Amino acid sequence: MKKVICALGMVFASVSSAWGTTYPLTIENCGYKETFTQAPERVVALGQNTVEILLLLGLQDKIVASAFWPTKVLPQLAEQNKKIKTLTVEIPTLESILAQNPDFVPAQLPLLLGPESKVAKRDDLATVGVNSYMSPGMCATKKDIGDMYGSRQKLWDMTFLYKEIEDFAKIFNVEDRGQTLIADFKKREADLRQTFGKNKKDLSFVFWFSSASPSSDAYVGGKNSASGFIANVLGGHNAITSETEWPTVGWESIIAANPDVIVVSSLDRNRWALDNAQEKIKFLKSDPAVSQLDAVKKGHIVVMDGQAMNPTIRTIYGAEQVGEQLKNLGLDK
């Protein structure tokens, strides 16, 4: 991957923009129209995905602060990210955001910027003259009462992510960089599908994000979520049938589903003990009932970066991470 980043950097440095943004630029995003008179100079990016896209586009000098980091930044972006202030790895306050004097606040999740957000609503930012942006993939969900993440009737795919990259590239007048980045992701997805498309097993997966405690229900990726997309890319399907983006599922239901593979997330946030991948594996192997699952008895437990279970650029990294482990387990044939 380091070679890819270096190659992207060389392209950015040597190729002059074939497009060039004309300002004022109006972007339609999740029901809002945002007009930019110039490229933003002081960005407060809410959500790991938002920050990592901007960093991959070489825009680290435009980001003054960030917040909400379930896991550590991509290793190849660590140096760029060092110069950016982290408000909190959890949920920031509106006061802390506005204290950075931002001119643009893009967000990954409605939890951070949405109608039910405790941080801010887009109208709050518009009132003080600050443009905002919400990840397009999150606007494609059907909002359920009391659940800001909603549900999906259609499987999430990378087109939402490409739209986000294209929009940011236009806003910051770096469209060549955006197209290069999109081409890289498209190739990586195609390579995975070619490798695992020959698999006739149609493996069933459960993607376990976390739980508040061993006695609590499991917080898992829903049928049509990014987790479902990963299962699809790897020639299988999500054993969870709920269209809710992030359903909580009892272990009795997971036992009944009897998945071929259990994917456990690795999180760096340390909110709950079971954020830790090894703690999840310990539970799976020690619980009297859960330990009898075929996937547990056969050792078909794999670890994936937790951020990949969110619909983000990490999703394709997560698919690659799971794919490598499936190969090691002989489940790629």
Q: Are residues 276 and 165 in the same domain?
A: no
Does residue 177 sit in the same domain as residue 51? Answer: yes
Supply the mean pLDDT for the chain: 92
One domain, residues 125 and 231? no
Are 159 and 295 part of one and the same domain? no
Are 141 and 161 spatial neighbours (Cβ–Cβ below 8 Å)?
no
Q: Is residue 193 part of a domain?
A: no
- Domain for residue 190, yes or no? no
- For residue 4, tell me if it sits in a domain: no
Nearest in space to 63 (alpha carbons), one of 49, 78, 83: 83
Each residue's pLDDT tens digit, 180-209: 999 999 999 999 999 998 777 899 999 999
Q: Report if residue 133 sits inside a domain.
A: yes
pLDDT tens column, 199-256: 778 999 999 999 999 999 999 999 999 999 999 999 999 999 999 999 999 999 999 9
pLDDT of 146 = 60
Does residue 13 fall inside a structural domain?
no
Check residue 138 and give its pLDDT.
87
pLDDT of residue 198: 78
How much is the pTM?
A: 0.90
- Read off the pLDDT band of 333 (50, 70, 90): confident
Q: Are residues 243 and 149 in the same domain?
A: no
- Residue 300: CATH number of its domain: 3.40.50.1980
CB 277 within 8 A of CB 265: yes
Which residues span the domain enclosing 157? 25-182
Same domain, 173 and 41: yes
DSSP string, 129-195: T-EEEE-HHHHTSEEETTEEEEE-SS---THHHHHHHHHHHHHTT-HHHHHHHHHHHHHHHHHHHHH
**SS3 for 214?**
coil
Same domain? For 60 and 33 the reply is yes
Beta carbons of 69 and 112 less than 8 angstroms apart = no
For residue 121, what pLDDT is reported? Answer: 94
Q: Give tens-digit pLDDT for 273-307.
A: 999 999 999 999 999 999 999 999 999 999 999 99
Q: 96 burial class (0-12, 13-18, 19+ CB within 10 angstroms)?
A: middle
Tally of domains in the chain: 2
User: Are 30 and 168 within one domain?
Assistant: yes
Q: Is residue 195 included in any domain, yes or no?
A: no
